[in-house]
Structure 1
């Protein structure tokens, strides 16, 4: 989902947690959001491809753009 789509979910209290974790597909970090009904949705670009960031700080900024004030960093592979 794009940032705009995720902002709508956040405003509607549909996503309840932001999580940054290592990407399984690239060398970097992805931002996922836990849905209130379970499961996760991933931040993607307009074409639906997973967005991968080089560093945790940039990934955190994207979670803040969605509306969250804190994020959980998951460092497992």
Structure 2
């Protein structure tokens, strides 16, 4: 997950990693999204191609609730 204020360059966003969907849900319960914020949620995996690591998106969304719905609809258990 990455978050920052709208209009901020993406390089200045704060990035977070979670080991489970429950950990993300617990974090969002303590720190809800703000109207002035811009968010990016990604579920991805890492693969090696030609000796380089490559990040492959599985599910991505701009809002928390949308991301949760997409993850649950995908049937992935994280």
TM-score (norm 2): 0.33
The structure having more radius of gyration, on CA atoms, is 2
Structure with the higher fraction of residues in strand conformation: 2
Q: Which has the higher contact order (CA 8 A, sep 6+)?
A: 1
TM-score (norm 1): 0.34
Structure with the higher fraction of residues in helix conformation: 2
